[in-house]
Each structure stands twice: as C-alpha cells, then as structure tokens.
Amino acid sequence: MAVGVFDSGLGGLTVLDAVAKRLPDVPFVYFGDNKHTPYGVRDAEDVYQLTTASVERLWDEGCDLVILACNTASAAALKRMQESWIPPEKRVLGVFVPLIEALTERQWGDNSPPREVETKHVALFATPATVSSRAFQRELAFRAIGVDVEAQPCGGVVDAIEEGDMILAEALVRSHVEALKRRMPHPEAAILGCTHYPLMEDVFQDALGADVKVFSQANLVAASLEDYLNRHPDMLGLGAESSFLTTGDPKSVANKATQFLRRKIEFRHVEME
C-alpha cells in the first residue's frame, strides 16, 4: 500500500516530507528524475514523455496512486495524461488544485461556479514551462472571478537548487521578485508554483515583504491527500515499503536530499533513457 510521489528532481521532497509527516502509516515511494531535471525549460511534449515514463516506473513499484509533486508536469502533461493515458484502475493527481482551492477559500472538491474572492492581486512564481502553459490561470478561472495574476518565470532557480548552489538560488529569487514587483508593486498573495521553491521560502518572503501572504504547496497537498485517501482507501496500491528512487547519481542526490530534509535518505538508482 504505497503512494508514489514524483518530481523532476529534489523539489518534490518538500511535498514528500509533508505527506509523510501527515500520513505516517502510509509508505511512499519517491521518484526523482534528476537525470533530466530541470523540466521547466523543456517543451510540453518532452515533459509529457518524461513524466509518463516516470509514472509507469512508480506503477511498477506497486503505487496505483501517484502524486505529481511537480507543477511543471502538472501544468504541461497532467491534463493530456488524464484524457487519454491513465488506465481506469490507476490515479495520477497534480499539485495545482489544492493550492488554488486554498487561495480561493474553497473546500476540497467544491465545484460550484466561480465567485469573487478576497485576494485580488496574486503573484505567481513558477518555471518558464508552467508560466507559459497558463494552467494556473485556467484552473483559477474555474473558481474565482476578478483576480489579477502576474506571473514571473523564474529561470535558473531550479538548476541552482539541484546543483546545491543556494547562494546563486537566493540571488536569482531576489532578482525575480524585483522583476515581478516592477509589474505588480503590491501583490496581496504570492504563489510558490514550483515544488523546489519552498526550499527558498524565507528568501521569497523576505524579498516580498511581511505583508504578502506566501502560499506554498506541501501542507496543502498533504491535507488534500489525506482527504482523498479517506474517500478512496482502495487507491493505496500494493507496494509496502517506503523508498527513494532517482535516475541521477544516487550518492549526490542523497547528499542534497539529506541536507534539505535534515534526515538521512538513501536513493536507489533506476535506469531511464
């Protein structure tokens, strides 16, 4: 009974950490496609091919339910996967919807028509692929009206985090926040629309100012996964053990993961084209 958690690299560990804390009895299999990271500069076809190959690998590990703990994959590939690729006995869930439901003050699964919400000026920080997909705006439009979204593609931040260069990552975050503020000087809320960015959340908050409410996904996704599993206990799958898989170099990925999560993590290498 394992649940799969997928990301292009290390960012999904922010989600893994939150879901594992919230659901301590559920085994999770983490899959980081570190060999092909970053996804955020790839085109939609490429992201689709890499994401479907990774999700299949998690199905092979006994995970019938897979969380795409990656906004880029959720934005660029999930809709197409759900329309024509996922077999009826499997589920793949993205990380966008819980975040948008929180921003628009909705209960999970409330599909009533869009309505006015309190927050009117929202800054979105995400990878170039997520920004250009406009998936965030599309999902928001189903739930809220009159919200002005200014999106900042944060080139380079994921690469810097994957390389463990946190000084460069901080400098890039500050310059992306500055760039956004030139176009939207007073956002009320900011969305960290990439699962790598919670690793830099303090820097985002500092650069944005204390009066901006920063939404990040990990805890929201964990709460909505708990709710989902209560309603669909049969989706727990057959896998029984937690494990960490990577298409990259397991030693170097494990070192960075250990540094980020502040607990020892071992990765197993898996081959992928």
By CB under 6 A, name the one of 71, 104, 219, 247 that touches ligand DGL: 71
Q: Nearest approach, Cβ of 131 to ligand DGL (angstroms)?
A: 10
Q: Measured at the alpha carbon of residue 242, what is the angle toward residues 237 and 244, in degrees to the nearest 5?
A: 115
Q: Does 194 bind ligand DGL (CB under 6 A)?
A: yes
Rounded CA gap, 47 and 45, in Å?
5
Give the nearer residue to ligand DGL in terms of CB position, either 12 or 27: 12
The conformational region for residue 184 under phi > 0 = left, psi -120 to 50 = alpha, else beta, is beta
Phi, psi of 64 (to 5 degrees): -75, -25
Query: Which of the following is catalytic: 50, 81, 122, 194?
Result: 194
Active site annotation includes 70: yes
Q: Nearest approach, Cβ of 195 to ligand DGL (angstroms)?
A: 4
**Binding track, positions 205-244, relative to ligand DGL; x by CB under 6 A:** ----------------------------------------
Cβ-contact 32, 248 below 8 angstroms: yes
Cis amide linkage into residue 250, ω under 30° from 0: no
Give the nearer residue to ligand DGL in terms of CB position, either 1 or 73: 73
Cβ-contact 46, 22 below 8 angstroms: no
Q: Does 39 bind ligand DGL (CB under 6 A)?
A: yes
Distance of alpha carbon 34 from its chain centroid, rounded?
15
Q: Nearest approach, Cβ of 105 to ligand DGL (angstroms)?
A: 23
By CB under 6 A, name the one of 1, 6, 11, 106 that touches ligand DGL: 11
Rounded CA gap, 224 and 172, in Å?
31
Helical segments of 7-126, H only: 13-22, 44-60, 71-76, 78-84, 96-103
Tokens representing 91 are 């589920």
By CB under 6 A, name the one of 91, 176, 196, 256 that touches ligand DGL: 196
Q: Does 40 bind ligand DGL (CB under 6 A)?
A: yes
Residue among 34, 208, 4, 53 at smallest CA distance from 121: 208
Q: Which residues have a Cβ under 8 Å from the Cβ of 72 and sit 6 or more positions away?
A: 8, 38, 39, 40, 47, 126, 127, 129, 130, 194
Q: Does 127 bind ligand DGL (CB under 6 A)?
A: yes
By CB under 6 A, name the one of 152, 195, 224, 247 that touches ligand DGL: 195
Q: Does 70 bind ligand DGL (CB under 6 A)?
A: yes
Task: Using CB positions, name the residue nearest to ligand DGL.
Answer: 40
Q: Does 19 bind ligand DGL (CB under 6 A)?
A: no
Active site annotation includes 154: no
Query: Which of the following is catalytic: 5, 50, 70, 222?
Result: 70
Interface with ligand DGL by CB under 6 A: which residues?
Answer: 7-9, 11, 37-40, 70-72, 127, 130, 158, 194-196
Q: Which residues are catalytic?
A: 70, 194
